[in-house]
Structures are given as C-alpha cells and as structure tokens.
Amino acid sequence: MNILVFTKRVPATQEEELRLINDGKDVDFSKLPFKVNDWDNYAVEEAVKIVEKGGGAVTAVSIGNTESDEVLRRAIAMGAKDGFLVEVDQALHDPFARGALIRNFIRKESIPFDVIFTGVQSEDDQFASVGGILAALLKLPYVSMVVGIDSVAKDHMVVRRELEGGLQERVRVTTPCVLSIQSGINEPRYVSIMGIRKASKVERKSFKGIEYDAGKESHIELVKWVYPPKKGGAQMLGGELPDICKKLMEILKEKGVYQ
Amino acid sequence: MLTQTSHKALVCIQCGKCTGSCPESGKTPFNIRALVRKKQFGSGITEGIPWYCTSCGACTIRCPRDVKPSEVIIEMRSAFIENGTVPLAIQKALENTFVQKNPWGRSRNKRAAWTEKVDFEVPHVSETESKRLLFVCCIQAYDPRCMVIPVNVANILNKAGFEFGILGEEEACCGNEIRRIGETGLFEELQEENAANLREYGVKEIVALSPHCMNVLKKEYGDLGIKVSHYTEALWPLIEEGSFKTTRPCPKKVIYHDPCFLGKQNNIFDQPRNILRSIEDLELLEFSRSRETSLCCEGGGGRMFFEVETTYQRNAEVRVLEAAEKGADLIATACPFCVMTIEDPATEKGLIVKELSEIIMEVL
Amino acid sequence: MSYALIVAETRRGIFEERNLDSIGICALLGKETAILLPDGQYSFNEKLVDSIIRVKADEEVFLNPLNMTAIIEKVSEARGRPDLIVFTHSSSGAESAAYAAGLFGFPVITDVSGYDKERGIFFKSYYSDKLFGEFKTTGGATAVLTVRSGSFKEFAAEKAAAPREEVVEGITASDSRTFVEYVEEEKTDIDITKADFLLSVGRGVGNKDEIPAYEELAGLLKAVISGSRPVIDKMWLPKARQVGTSGKTVKPKVYLAMGISGAFQHIAGMKDADCIIAINKDAEAPIFQYAHYGIVADMHKVRDALKGVLKG
C-alpha cells in the first residue's frame, strides 16, 4: 500500500507568550523554535507501521517554506521512502486554499497513492479541516479522528474513530480514501539525531507552490490576530465550604465533565 | 571534537565489584556484572533494564580491570535509542532538549528568568573582563525549587567581588544526562552549540553550578583550553582568603551528602565541607557512606526524567533515615538533582534539605 | 429565503447540549434557523428554532460526512441554499463541516468562539487559545462554521411561534464509508491520558486510609482518579495512575488537583489540561500559579462537603 502522508513544521508555542507585531497582522516567531506538528508525527508513524507490516511505501509531503525540509528528514528517519516539499512563501491561513493546493499538486504531478493520511489538525491554526476538504476535492471518502486501524484489505480498511466521552465508532471505508489521524493512535518511535543525519542523505524533491495556484482559492480572510482576554493566575474561590462546593460544581458543569 | 570514553567489556573477569558497588543492585532487576557479560557475548538485552543505571560511576571507579561498565550501559542505551525504542518519558526529555535545549521543554527564551531575582544586573559573559562564565544548568534555570541556587550563588560571588557573566538564553543544556541516556548525536549538537558560544565570546573560565554540567564540560567536551570548576571550588578560596565572610551563626547539625558527579567522579570532597565548617556554630555530621562511597540519590543518568518499573525503597529515603538517626537537623548537598530526590522523603520525616548556597544565604 | 442550517449533533438518541451554541450563534447573527435532525425522538426545547427538518436516516447515516453532504444538497434543492451551515465543533461536526466545505467550495471557519456583529468578524482560536484570529469570509458563498461548546448558548432564545416541521426523504447511504458498530473504550485497564476528568490526589492526602474516600468522590463525580509521585511511591495508587514527567502526561478537560503542591515534575505532566482546579491548604503552593481556579482549604473537608452535595 502506498501512503501519502502530510507533515507540517510548526512553531513550538506551548511554553511561550506570543507577541503580535504589525498591528496584529503578524506573530513574532523570531525567537521561537520549530518542531513537527504533533498530529502529523502520529500520522507518519501510523503510515510507516502499516507499510512495515504489509509492504508498500510512505511518501511524506510538506507544504511550507524551505525549512520544512526538516520535518521531511524526520519522516524519512522514521521510515518514509520519499520526501516532497511544496514550497510556499506565505502561510496559507485558509484550509480550503491548502486543500486546493494539495489537490492541484497531486493531480498535476500525478502522485500515486492508495491512501492519504493527514493529522487531525495542526498545532498552530487548529482548523481540523484540510483532510476533509482535500477528500471532498478529490471525491474520496473521508474519516477523521482515526484512533485505530483495525484491518487493511485490498479495497477497503476498517478503522475506529474517536467520538466524545470514551466512545468510538468503527467504520468501513473503501480505498482510496483520506484519513485524518488522531494523536494517541500509536506511540511514535524516537528519532535520533544520528537517524536524522542518515535521512539527510536521501534526496528530497522540491516543488514550487506557485505552480499549483497557491492561495488562489482562499475563501476566508484573516483580518488580524488579537490577544485573548487577560487572565492572571488562578481565580480563587473563596467563602464557606458550601459556597465553594457550589461554585466548584458549576465549573464542572460548565466544562461539561459533570451533568 | 568529542572525547569518547570507550569501554573494555572484553577484559572483564566478572569479579562482581561493580555489582557490589552499584546503588541499584540487589533491590532491582539491574545487575551490572551480568550486563557486561551479555555485552561480551553479544546477547540480547531486555528492554527497560539499562534504564535503571543512575550513572553514578561507582562501578567504573571500582573496576580492577578498567572495563568502565557505566560506558557499557551508555552503549546499550544508544542501541535502543537508534532503534527508536525508548521509554516514553526519556523520549520526551530528548525531544524537548532537541527543541528547547532543556529536557523539560521550557521556553528557551525564559532561560535567564532567574536573573530577575538577583540583586544586581548579571552581565553577559562577553561583557566581563575576566570572561568567566557561570554555567547555570537547565533544572536551576527553570525549576522553582532549584532556581534559588543560581540566584544565591550569583549574589554570593558578587559579594565576594568575583566577576562573572552568563550566556543567558544562549546557554544550551550541557548534555551530561543526554550523553548518559545514549543520545550521542544530540549530545554532539549540544556540545557543538555550547562550544561555539564559548569560542565566540572568548570564555576563559567556567564555573558550573551543577556537578553534572561541570563533569561534562570538564571531561567530555574535548580540549576547550578552558578551566572548568564547580562553584564550591571557586568559593572556598574566597572564604579562605577572607574575600567572603558569613556573619551569623548556624547552630545546627548539618549532614553533608556527596553528589556522585562532584565527589566520587570528580574528587571534590573537601571544598563543600570546608565551606560548611567555616560557618559559626555549625556542626558537620557524616553519613556512614560518605565521600568515595557516598550512596547515590538516584537522580542521574536520565533517572530525573523517568521512573523505573519496580517499586522499591529509594536510596533517598535510606539517606533521610540515616540522617534522622544521626540527629541531623538538615541535609546539605551541592547538586540540584540530589536536592530534588532527597527532599521528597525528607519532608515526610520532618527533615530539611538545603543546597549549600541556601545555608550560606541564611548566615550572610 | 435566507436562513441558517443547523446540523444537530446527536449521539445514541441524545441531543447534545452543545447544539445550543449552534442555535445561539444563528440568533446572534439574526438568522432564521432550520435544524437538521436524524430519525428518532430527541428531547430539546424546539421553540429555539424556526424549523425542524427531520431526515429519514439513522443517526449513524446522518453523522457520516458523505451522507451529510447529500442531505445538505437535498435541503438546498427544497428550500434554497442556506447562508450559513453550522455544526458543533466536535468529532463528527468538524468532520462533516470540512467535507461539506470542500465539496461545495464554501468558506469554512472552525472552532468559532466569538462573533463581532458590527464588523462581521468571527473569532477563532489559534495556538491553543494563546491568540485568536479575526476572520471574515470573502465572496458571497454560504459559510460553514463549527462552533465551540459554551460560546453562544446564552443567545439562544425562544421564537414566538412553534417550529415548522419539514421532512427530507430518499437519502441513499453511501457505501464507500459505512458504520459498523460503536466501541466502548475498555474499562479494564484505565488509561488516565484518555480521561476527560481527572481527580488527582497528592501528598496532602496524608495516609492510605484516606484514599478510598477519594475514590468514592471520583466515582460520584464520574472522574478518574490519579495521583502525584508521593502517592504512587507509597503504592497508595497504582503506577498507571501517576501524573508527571515520571508518570503520564495528561490533557483532560478538567484536572482537579487535591493536596498537590505542584512540584515541577508534576506540573509538566498536567499543565496542558483545559481547566485546572487546585485545592491546597497552602496559599503559596506553586500549583496555584498554573491553576485556573484555586481553593485554599483542607482537601479532606472539601472532599466530604462535595460528597455531601453529590449524595444530595
């Protein structure tokens, strides 16, 4: 089975206070390290596991600037055979534009695949939409939030998708298809620095995004970014015990963990 | 250039001195002698087993044939690392170090946050005349418990008129633990990054705050042509010559725990003790296992980031029980990892654990 | 006629509460609303919408993006194209929203948590709420939204008239993606990383005899119990329940920390929880720096009081 898996290089923002510049038109990434998008890491691992077991090849694709080569090397170190970079000079904020670019790329370059994997979402924009848009544009069946691949047959797969509250749904999907992989589906292997250095010797192909009308099909516009309403430290719940309990229960209800 | 210490498993005569000195031996499934044997025969190693090693170095010091069993362990770990089968917590620590240059994945931009708590402006090393670098260490730069250590030491050294600067956000993890975890490639990257900064800023001397950083900078960074010492080595002469004085008494019984990377691995036994003895009214006690035979706290070799499978009495608890039995009021040590591991059981027994600089600050 | 189409999220016969946020945003936008429901009896306040469109299809067929797009097409044929299609930001909602946007070429904005009516701006989280993006749709096409739970429900208001009832029939279920069965997560071996609600106890618990009362509280709250290292070390709770760098890293919706001071190693294992509530008798405990809500109190007293409330 040939699996096309998408992987994105994202800023590591978890520990950072982000700073807006140019009146909120840009985020200052100058001092941030970058990393592979967590969800994509799971997707690459899952793809590699499938071909290790049943044969075939994994091709990793990244849409981004030249530095995204880093996540391709990483994917190759994990077991992908090829790495393709579709170079775009500006971030595409609209998931539709990303989906359309990928469709155009796949069609124009006649990239062969049996299945396409994406992460459910990326850590930066958290749209959780590119996989679904791409599937629809390619007229392929789609399953998102995949937490388990139970079986892979010649013309179909049986997968489990995560619903809410610990419930899962088992679905049968014909191939070719697009699956969006949820974090936690596997335990991604550790990729050592030595492994990445070795992977650097595998040639990666680079394509120019402009050839595939990058950004032409945007349907939404990011006007600017804004900071969230400020909250400083913990909000302390005071008062007598019964009041405290009442407030606590209200919070639990509001967060949807207690009905 | 990397100085690789290589082991000599093949000359091992299986005398068992390593196992005899190993802090994990007996109570856990870890048997260092047996692992060296397996190395000799190239037999398979059970996943999980090499991760018990705390890198205390006792086996390597005691070995009569210079086999360096602790290096055998690093090689075994490396094989697991290259194979991708690494305990999840270790994997996280490595990935964090790759991204943020510290095993906890805290923001590199906040590495110098501790300097806000210092009484004076801590200069960048390039701005100093002496080009003397205070190497801070990840856990002391970020952990709220350990952050007081660089703050204290900076204040103390400044008071003693001892000039120094820092690398601030440019400091990367020293790699001591990373090398012992077996991630050679990552260790090399950290080493190259730090070494490049040392060169660029013309650093002439390094005073390391953690024995772990000191060890790797001194012994495993190749020949930097830079003098590396632990801060207690720098401080004791300042006290001796009278440049730094404590003024208040400390009428307490203090028992000193030798950190493995300061004591048995680098023979720094006396300076911390001398510093403690210089404090008025302080009574210094000794553990039955002290100096070269000091019992490891189990915080090294990656164990700070990850918990082994079996549950057993922790060495830290053994230490605390003995300290209590000897009537100590507090346990002093000179390593952030020792502070972290020993403090846990100590708090329960009503004992206090302090890093040396904390005691000094109280008697300034 | 201009209207907003709300795709209801139902699960095994339950009308999910978060649909109220979908209804709410339509009210905020001043749209006439039609809600799409699969076959079955659903209990909700029907007066909150103008029309109810009942689709002759099972829930499992309905919540399949391949079928949902066919349903939307049928609705559009019957009553014109909607201006807005609103889904919940949930597993199935986000799945169908993206697929519909791709198939119809509509703009899509997901996880919408705010709307500025004057400027026609939708707010969407970026970087786990560290920033919000202000988005506009361009061109006149129908916008597809998924809406964050808890963001708009207060705007849902009852309409003057009872809703009109409509029916959509003749949906042929796709055979390229088919529902097989529901799978309940295995309960035998608790995986604390998968829990939505963790009640975590720390050193402050004091002694082993106190643990059962916390387990009972967790049971009443439908929370999963976990602990910090000192509790695990003493084997008061099994190793699999340990939160922290030497245990598991968890990201529950709610992390209720009782008697945990917040050692660095522990914080690293839970700081990404959506909501952290800390109960500690020490007001200076570091955990309060990371918590969203804090209670300075004796954990046992809070436990007993909560048990009292829950048992009625």
Q: Closest chain C residue to B104 measured between Cα atoms?
A: C268
Q: Where are the domains of chain C?
A: 4-168, 192-310
Q: What is the pLDDT of residue B1?
A: 35
E strand or H helix that includes residue B32: helix B32-41
Residue B205 burial (CB count, 10 A) = 15
Q: Which chain A residues are within 8 Å of C276, Cβ to Cβ?
A: 234
Which one, of A254, A252, A229, A164, lies nearest residue C150 by Cα?
A: A254
Provide long-range contacts, Cβ within 8 A and 24+ apart, for A199-206.
A199/A73, A199/A74, A199/A76, A199/A77, A200/A73, A202/A76, A202/A82, A202/A83, A204/A69, A204/A72, A204/A73, A204/A76, A204/A82, A204/A83, A204/A84, A204/A85, A205/A82, A205/A83, A205/A84, A205/A85, A206/A66, A206/A84, A206/A85, A206/A87
Query: With contact defined as beta carbons under 8 Å apart, do A145 and A162 qualify?
Result: yes
Task: Tell me how close the Cα of B139 comes to any Cα of chain A, in angstroms.
Answer: 16
Q: Which of A14, A16, A190 sits opposite B109 (nearest CB)?
A: A16
Taking the domain C4-168, which CATH number applies?
A: 3.40.50.620
Question: Would you give the DSSP letter of residue B107?
Answer: -
* Class in CATH terms, C192-310: alpha beta
Q: Would you state the CATH architecture of domain A2-231? A: 3-Layer(aba) Sandwich (3.40)
- Same-fold call for C4-168 versus C192-310: yes
Q: Do B89 and C235 touch (CB under 8 A)?
A: no
Poorest-pLDDT segment among A66-70, B4-8, B132-136, C70-74: B4-8
CA dist list (Å): A241 to B16, C150, C220:
61, 27, 18
Q: What angle do CA B337, B341, B344 make, to 5 degrees?
A: 140
Tens digits of per-residue pLDDT, B42-101? 888 998 899 999 999 999 999 999 999 999 999 999 999 999 989 888 998 999 999 999
Which one, of C216, C198, C208, C225, lies nearest residue C307 by Cα?
A: C216
Q: List b or e across C258-272, with b for residues whose CB sees 16 or more CB atoms inside 10 angstroms.
A: bbbbbbbbbbbbbbe
Q: What is the pLDDT of residue B4?
A: 47
Residue at token pair 């001892």: B162
- Of A210 and A233, more confident: A210
Residue A30 burial (CB count, 10 A) = 7
Tens digits of per-residue pLDDT, B172-231? 999 999 999 999 999 999 999 999 999 999 999 999 999 999 999 999 999 999 999 999
Tens digits of per-residue pLDDT, A33-73? 999 999 999 999 999 999 999 999 999 999 999 999 999 99
Q: Do B311 and C233 touch (CB under 8 A)?
A: yes
Phi first, then psi, for residue C52 (nearest 5°) are -120, 120
Tens digits of per-residue pLDDT, A174-203? 999 999 999 889 989 999 999 999 999 999
Averaged pLDDT, A129-152: 97
E runs forming strands in chain B: 132-135, 205-208, 227-230, 253-256, 283-286, 330-333, 352-355
Q: Where are the domains of chain A?
A: 2-231
Q: What is the pLDDT of residue B143?
A: 87
Assign B350 a pLDDT band (cuts: 50, 70, 90).
Answer: confident
Q: What is the pLDDT of residue C281?
A: 86
Query: With contact defined as beta carbons under 8 Å apart, do B167 and B200 qualify?
Result: no
Complex confidence, ipTM: 0.91
Which subunits sit against B, judged by 3+ Cβ pairs under 8 A?
A, C
Full 3-state SS string of chain C = CCCEEEECCEECCEECCCHHHHHHHHHHCCCCEEEEECCCCCCCCHHHCCEEEEECCCHHHHCCHHHHHHHHHHHHHHHCCCCEEEEECCHHHHHHHHHHHHHHCCCEEEEEEEEECCCCEEEEEECCCCEEEEEEECCCCCEEEEECCCCCHHHCCCCCCCCEEEEECCCCCCCCEEEEEEEECCCCCCCHHHCCEEEEECHHHCCHHHHHHHHHHHHHHCCEEEECHHHHHCCCCCHHHEECCCCECCCCCEEEEECCCCCHHHHHHHCCCCEEEEEECCCCCCHHHHCCEEEECCHHHHHHHHHHHHCC
Q: State CA A94 to chain mean position distance.
A: 14
Q: Does B24 touch chain C (CB under 8 A)?
A: no
Say how far apart CA C44 and CA C55 lie, in whole Å: 17
Q: Do B185 and A15 touch (CB under 8 A)?
A: no
Query: With contact defined as beta carbons under 8 Å apart, do B178 and B97 qualify?
Result: yes
Tens digits of per-residue pLDDT, B291-335? 999 999 999 999 998 878 777 889 999 999 999 999 999 999 999
Query: With contact defined as beta carbons under 8 Å apart, do B314 and B303 qualify?
Result: no
Q: Which of A15, A191, A196 sits opposite B100 (nearest CB)?
A: A15
Q: What is the mean pLDDT of each run of 10 residues along chain C (312 residues)?
A: 93 92 96 96 96 96 97 96 96 97 96 94 90 90 91 94 95 96 74 91 87 94 91 83 83 94 82 92 84 93 92 82
Query: With contact defined as beta carbons under 8 Å apart, do A93 and A217 qualify?
Result: no
Q: Do C98 and A258 touch (CB under 8 A)?
A: no
CA dist list (Å): B272 to B232, B239, B256, B357:
6, 12, 8, 10
Which one, of C9, C110, C87, C84, lies nearest residue A128 by Cα?
A: C110
Residue at token pair 């000039």: B163
pLDDT at A137 over 80: yes
pTM for the complete prediction?
A: 0.88
Question: Which token pair is C139?
Answer: 């061109």
DSSP secondary structure string for all residues of A22-33 = TTTTEE--TT--
Query: With contact defined as beta carbons under 8 Å apart, do C152 and C28 qualify?
Result: yes
> Helix, strand or coil for residue B27?
coil
Which subunits sit against A, judged by 3+ Cβ pairs under 8 A?
B, C
Q: Do A129 and C97 touch (CB under 8 A)?
A: yes
> Helix, strand or coil for residue A174?
strand
E strand or H helix that includes residue A236: strand A235-236
Q: What is the pLDDT of residue B3?
A: 42
Q: Does B190 touch chain A (CB under 8 A)?
A: no
pLDDT at A231 over 70: no
Where do the domains of chain B lie, and which CATH numbers do they carry?
9-83 (1.10.1060.10), 90-237 (no CATH), 246-362 (3.40.50.10700)
Q: Do C305 and A219 touch (CB under 8 A)?
A: no
**CB contact set of A156 (below 8 Å; sequence gap of 6+):** A172, A173, A174, A175
Q: Which chain A residues are within 8 Å of C94, Cβ to Cβ?
A: 128-129, 132, 144
